[in-house]
C-alpha cells in the first residue's frame, strides 16, 4: 500500500495556530477522531504523552512526529498539521515545530502498514521535502507531495556493503521505544551522513513489527566497529567482544557525524555481554523508566 493510504484528507489541517505542545497534540488526535480512525481520544493521548516522557519527538529543523500504538486505534493512520510560525515542542534543537505528523497504529498492526509508516518517517528526513509540505495550501497538495516523494525514492532494500572509510567495516543497530518512526529515522540519518563522509554502513532496525535489514553473523564477525543507538531493550549479546559506540537513538538522528568521528578516532569500548544479557539497551530502558516513572 502507498503511504497516503493511511492519510485521510479529513486528518490534515494546514496553517493552524496551537499555543503549545499539548494543544498541538490534541489537534492531531482530534483530526484522527474526525477521520474515524481512533475510538478513545483520552487513551491515545495518554500513550502519546507517555512516549514524550521517554524523549521528545520534536526533532530538528521544525519537524515533530508524536506517535502511539494501542488498541484504541482502529487502523494505522496519520494526521498532519502545519504551523508556519511554529509551536514550542521541546524539540532537540530548541526550535519550534512547524510540521507535525501523528503516527498511530493498533497494537497488532500488520507488517505492511507499519513498514509504510516507517517509510513516511524516512522521507520526512529530507529538509526540502519537509519545507514543501509546510508551504502546502490544501490537503490535496499534501497527498500529491507525499505520493511523488514515495515514487521518487522507490523501494529501499538496504545497503549491500559494510566497508567504511580507511577500510573499516561498520554495522549499526537502531531502536526506539515504539519502533514506529524514530528507529527508521536514525537509520536514514546514519546512511545520509555516511554517504556524505564516503562511508557505507549496514544498519539493522528494530521496528514495531520486528527487525528490518537484519545483520548476519558474518557481517557482525567482520565488523571493525558497531554503533548501538537504542532507547529500548534489544538483544545485543551477539556483539560480545566487538568495539562499540553506545548511545540513544536520538543521537543517531541528530548527531550521526559525531558517532563516525568517534570510530575514526578509536573512541570505542569493547562490549561485554553479561549472563542476564543486560545490554546497553536494557540499561537505557531502566534509566528512562526510573527518571520518568
Q: Which residues are catalytic?
A: 67, 176
Return all residues near 74 (Cβ < 8 A) that are at least 6 apart: 36, 37, 38, 39, 106
Contacts of 273 (CB under 8 A, 6+ apart): 236, 237, 239, 240, 279
In whole angstroms, give the CA distance from residue 22 to residue 205.
29
d(CA 95, CA 116): 28
Grid cell, residue 276, equals: 542476564
Residue 233 belongs to what H/E stretch? Answer: none
Alpha-carbon gap, residue 261 to 243, rounded angstroms:
14
- Evaluate the CA torsion angle 259, 242, 198, 150 in order and state its sign: negative
Query: Residue 233, CB half-sphere, CA atoms under 13 Å: how many?
Result: 8
**Cα–Cα distance measured from residue 153 to residue 249, given in angstroms and rounded to the nearest whole number:** 24
For residue 9, what is the DSSP state? G
Q: What gap in Å lies between CA 278 and CA 285, rounded to an integer?
A: 10
* CA 123/CA 246 separation, integer angstroms: 26
CA atoms within 13 A on the CB side of 38: 31
Rounded to an integer, what distance in angstroms lies between the CA atom of residue 203 and that of residue 63?
A: 23
Amino acid at each position: 500500500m502507498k503511504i497516503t493510504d493511511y492519510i485521510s484528507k479529513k486528518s490534515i489541517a494546514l496553517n493552524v495556530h496551537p499555543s503549545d505542545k499539548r494543544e498541538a497534540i490534541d489537534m492531531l488526535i482530534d483530526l484522527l477522531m474526525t477521520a474515524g480512525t481512533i475510538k478513545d481520544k483520552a487513551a491515545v493521548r495518554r500513550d502519546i504523552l507517555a512516549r514524550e516522557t521517554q524523549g521528545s519527538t520534536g526533532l530538528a529543523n521544525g519537524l515533530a512526529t508524536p506517535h502511539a500504538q494501542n488498541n484504541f486505534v482502529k487502523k494505522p493512520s496519520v494526521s498532519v498539521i502545519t504551523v508556519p510560525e511554529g509551536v514550542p515542542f521541546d524539540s532537540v534543537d530548541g526550535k519550534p515545530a512547524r510540521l507535525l505528523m501523528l503516527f498511530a497504529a493498533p497494537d497488532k498492526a500488520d507488517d505492511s502498514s507499519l513498514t509504510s509508516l516507517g517509510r513516511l518517517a524516512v522521507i520526512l528526513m529530507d529538509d526540502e521535502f519537509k519545507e514543501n509540505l509546510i508551504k502546502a495550501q490544501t490537503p490535496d497538495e499534501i497527498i500529491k507531495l507525499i505520493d511523488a516523494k514515495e515514487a521518487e525514492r522507490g523501494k529501499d532494500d538496504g545497503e549491500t556493503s559494510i566497508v567504511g572509510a580507511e577500510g573499516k567495516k561498520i554495522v549499526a543497530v537502531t531502536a526506539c521505544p515504539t519502533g514506529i518512526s524514530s528507529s527508521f529515522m536514525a537509520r536514514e540519518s546514519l546512511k545520509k551522513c555516511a554517504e556524505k563522509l564516503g562511508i557505507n554502513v549496514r544498519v539493522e532496525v528494530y521496528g514495531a513489527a520486528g527487525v528490518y535489514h537484519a545483520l548476519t553473523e558474518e557481517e557482525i564477525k567482520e565488523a571493525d566497529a558497531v554503533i548501538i543507538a537504542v532507547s529500548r531493550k534489544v538483544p545485543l549479546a551477539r556483539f560480545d567482544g566487538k568495539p562499540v559506540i553506545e548511545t540513544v537513538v536520538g543521537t543517531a538522528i541528530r548527531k550521526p557525524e559525531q558517532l563516525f568521528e568517534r570510530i575514526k578516532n578509536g573512541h570505542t569500548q569493547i562490549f561485554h555481554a553479561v549472563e542476564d544479557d543486560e545490554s546497553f539497551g536494557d540499561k537505557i530502558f531502566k534509566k528512562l523508566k526510573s527518571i520518568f516513572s
